[in-house]
Chains A and B, each alone.
Chain A
């Protein structure tokens, strides 16, 4: 039962966040962009958990709960927007939705 160094948790969070950021930058499909935002939020929550575990305080977990709430609200509104965009433009390409009043 060896203890986990705190850096390893932070490294995992950093790598996951990096993967989410890469996915957000290279994708043009708007659903994939929403998925990558989820990955990044999850990575940020992981960093909070590691910090809470480092100081033996529950505050990190409380912060994760708030991130979870925010992610749920964001996904519901984002998916409604995606449905609306798909019905209006008949595509999931985010470049198509570059004009207002399109």
Chain B
């Protein structure tokens, strides 16, 4: 179990690094799929098979495919890759990377000073999650429904292409 977790973690971290260093959007998204699949493997080893399945279906499936469709609609060309390469120079990258690594180092140090606790690795299946979801957390389910509804309405409203309406008299004035 530990070996599988190590390998999945390594794949997740490496593919995430590749995501953030890519210049091409589609390549980055494909590495993002690999990263999500590796994290799903880690979920499975940690005893959450239902969540692992959802990670593959929703994150790696639905969300990434949605992004790829939008990138297809944007119709980006080779210039965008060149521009990305120009934007991502050492001078811009160095500061945020250094400061974030300092913060992450502090966090990792604090995690390492705690006493080590082994996870039992017991599987918490879909049944227990479902009972909990529709028992004490049912208000959260309803709020999620409202959030998704707001998301649909917002995405429809924002994504609508506005037709350019010019009045025929105004058109004449412009001429």
Interface, chain A (partner B; CB < 8 A):
1-12, 14-16, 18-23, 25-29, 31-32, 34-36, 38-39, 42, 46, 49-50, 52-54, 56-62, 64-66, 68-77, 79-84, 86-87, 92
B12 in complex: contacting residue of A16, A25, A27, CB < 8 Å: A16
Are B155 and A3 in contact (CB-based, < 8 A)? Answer: no
Is residue B158 contacting chain A, with contact meaning CB distance below 8 A? Answer: yes
B87 in complex: contacting residue of A23, A25, A29, CB < 8 Å: A29
Distance to closest chain B CB from A97 (angstroms): 14
If over half of B's interface residues share one DSSP class (helix, strand or loop), that class is named, otherwise mixed; here it is: helix
* Cα distance A75–B32 in the bound complex, in angstroms: 15
Is residue B107 contacting chain A, with contact meaning CB distance below 8 A? Answer: yes
B122 in complex: contacting residue of A1, A56, A66, A76, CB < 8 Å: A56
Closest to A79 in B: B70
Give how many A-B residue pairs fall within 8 Å (CB-CB): 232
Interface size class of B (residues with CB under 8 A): 35 or more
B150 in complex: contacting residue of A5, A15, A73, CB < 8 Å: A73
Are B151 and A73 in contact (CB-based, < 8 A)? Answer: yes
Are B104 and A83 in contact (CB-based, < 8 A)? Answer: no
Closest to A42 in B: B39
A42-B36, A83-B159 known; A68 vs B116 contact (CB < 8 Å): no
Q: Knowing that A15-B13, A73-B150, A82-B70 are A-B contacts, what are 12 other residue pairs whose CB atoms are under 8 Å apart, sorted by A's residue number? A: A6-B119, A14-B107, A19-B17, A26-B88, A26-B92, A53-B46, A62-B129, A62-B140, A64-B54, A79-B70, A83-B159, A92-B74
Is residue B101 contacting chain A, with contact meaning CB distance below 8 A? Answer: yes
